[in-house]
Every structure is written in C-alpha cells, then in structure tokens.
Amino acid sequence: MAPAPRSDRPSPDLLGGVHEAAVESFDSASGLGELRLIGQPDTLVRFHCMVIADGSREVAVGAPVAARLGIAPDGGVEARSVIKLSC
C-alpha cells in the first residue's frame, strides 16, 4: 500500500475547524508527529509536541485526538492544537 499523501496544499475546508484524527506517528526525541484525519483518511497532517493542549508533550501512536488545523510556515497544513480524547 502506498503511503498517504501529506497535506502540502491547504484546503479551505480543513483550515480553522476542529477535526477528529488518530495519531499516525510520533517521535518523542524530535517532538514531531503526524495525524490521520478521520474524515479524510488519505491525508496526514504534521504536528509538533508544543501544540498538545494538555502540556504533556507526549501522545501515544493510535490515540484519538481532536485537532485544529492551520497553515504551516512552508504553506502546507499543520495541526495548531491537538487535544487528546478519551478512548
């Protein structure tokens, strides 16, 4: 199976709203991870541990989250806020 595309071009329907997602990957050492959007499972969105809302800077792979998306400095889409949801 081919890897899912990253969001390299912002889509107006993704920006600003809150989206349910699952943590696809997370590297504690770098603090970088990716979310797979539930409503658009072919799209991965990057995030940094600084945007995890509870301040823990840690999240488990597979964890359900809600994410608010915005435009990244490189013009792509990134998570601006990641809120952990109960399983």
Residues 59-70 have pLDDT tens digits of 999 999 999 999
Residue, of 74 and 2, whose pLDDT is higher: 74
Q: Smallest Cα–Cα separation from 36: which of 8, 12, 64?
A: 64
Looking at the DSSP assignment, which residues form a beta bridge with residue 65? Answer: 21, 84
Give residue-wise pLDDT tens across range 20-75: 999 999 999 999 999 999 988 888 999 999 999 999 999 999 999 999 999 888 88
Stated pTM of the model: 0.84
Domain layout of the chain by residue ranges:
18-84
Domain 18-84 has CATH 2.40.50.140: yes
